[in-house]
Amino acid sequence: MTKILAITNQKGGVGKTTTTVNLAASLAAAKQRVLLIDLDPQGNATMGSGIDKRDVQASVYDVLLGGKTISEARVTSEAGKYDVLPANRDLAGAEVELVDLEYRETRLRDALHMVATEYDYVLIDCPPALNLLTLNGLCAAKSVMIPMQCEYYALEGLSDLVNTIRKVRANLNPELEIEGLLRTMFDPRNTLAQQVSDQLKEHFGDKVYRTVIPRNVRLAEAPSFGVPALYHDKLSKGTQAYLALAGELLNNAARPAASA
């Protein structure tokens, strides 16, 4: 069964796109069929996958407005070995254009129905805002991964996001659940980071992934080369952390089947 995962946090700069790109590459390296959907008008996940957003013939914008199917708009990331539904600046106008359309919150979900069975994992990189694009991501997904830094304001923002997810579940997508919280850019020498991490585990228990993503230069460098970190420096701590995260996801997915 296809796992459709929205990677979201309304706070910017927490590692959403880094997580989406590197998790996609790590899952693909584990022989999983992966589709990355870039829902951010900045198109950073597209560029980080080695695809020039200025050259794409069609994008997620065309899919949301009904002009193209995902099959027509997707491209293969040769750099990451997965498929990408790309984004570019066209998407910035989609918010306004979607407002007057029927089923505006579920257009991505409807489009995904046609191709979902072709993939093991669909990863949706949501923009850093709770807008119609993010709503499309949350309505299309079965679960949500929340990347977050362990810092002072993180818990306050997290409560807002959890409330939003509850509202989406109540009104638009009853299947939606929190898959897990991912601690990113983590520095174990920082006392505050350790304290926030402990609070997360206390409040959310096993919803907090065991894998922790460290602050890592190689992860930051990789996008400028247009490749996931796995193909920039396979031995870096950042790369190894995302490979471990992919392993954790695959183990969690296999667990219910094993006990059934």
User: Which amino acid type is present at position 254?
Assistant: A
Q: What is the mean pLDDT of each run of 10 residues along the chain (260 residues)?
A: 94 91 98 98 96 95 96 97 96 88 94 97 94 95 95 81 93 95 91 90 93 94 94 95 97 63
Q: Are 48 and 82 in contact (CB under 8 A)?
A: no
User: Which amino acid type is present at position 152?
Assistant: Y
Amino acid 75: pLDDT: 98
Q: Can you name the CATH fold of 3-259?
A: Rossmann fold (3.40.50)
Amino acid 256: pLDDT: 55
CA 86 to chain centre: 13
d(CA 27, CA 250): 8
Amino acid 259: pLDDT: 35
Q: Please state whether 13 falls in left (phi above 0), alpha (psi between -120 and 50) or beta.
A: left
Q: Are 214 and 187 in contact (CB under 8 A)?
A: yes
Residue from 34, 33, 93, 32 nearest 60 by CA: 93
The first and second tokens of residue 244, run together, are 């471990």
Place of tokens 């002072």: 152
Locate the domains of the chain by residue range.
3-259
d(CA 83, CA 86): 9
Q: What 3-state class would DSSP assign to 65? A: coil
Amino acid 192: pLDDT: 87
- In angstroms and rounded to an integer, the radius of gyration of the C-alpha atoms of the chain is 17
pTM across the whole model: 0.95
d(CA 229, CA 22): 6
Amino acid 260: pLDDT: 32
